[in-house]
């Protein structure tokens, strides 16, 4: 897992090569650790190996109380989770 928790309000979580359970656990951990300054969590799950991770991340994030909305970008291997409005 690569988690970038620098001073910016943008956090990146890479869940490549994880199982579905590991990815959801890593996502929960990243959301728990995201401070009030974090407004966006970019989850990099990839898509060439299938859609299991993508679907698990999006489904779990959609019902998480800390996530305002799930944004799908132009890159099918990434999902942006909006935690608060700017």
Q: What is the pLDDT of residues 2-57, one digit of tens each?
A: 555 544 588 999 999 999 999 999 999 999 999 888 999 999 999 888 899 999 99
More confident residue, 2 or 66: 66
Mean pLDDT of 68-74: 93
- Distance CA(37)–CA(74), nearest Å, equals 25
The boundaries of the domain holding residue 61 are: 2-78
Residue 19 lies in a domain: yes
CATH code of the domain covering residue 70: 3.30.1370
Residue 49 lies in a domain: yes
Residue 84 lies in a domain: no
Domain count, the chain: 1
> What is the pTM assigned to this prediction?
0.87
Residue 85 lies in a domain: no
Backbone angles phi, psi at 10, to 5 degrees: -120, 125
């Amino acid at each position: 897992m690569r988690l970038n928790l620098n001073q910016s309000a943008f956090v990146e979580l890479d869940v490549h090569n994880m199982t579905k359970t590991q990815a959801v656990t890593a996502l929960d951990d990243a959301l728990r650790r995201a401070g009030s300054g974090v407004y966006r969590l970019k989850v990099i799950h990839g898509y060439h190996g299938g859609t299991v991770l993508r679907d698990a991340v999006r489904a779990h994030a959609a019902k998480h109380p800390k996530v305002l909305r799930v944004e799908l970008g132009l890159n099918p291997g990434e999902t942006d989770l909006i935690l608060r409005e700017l």
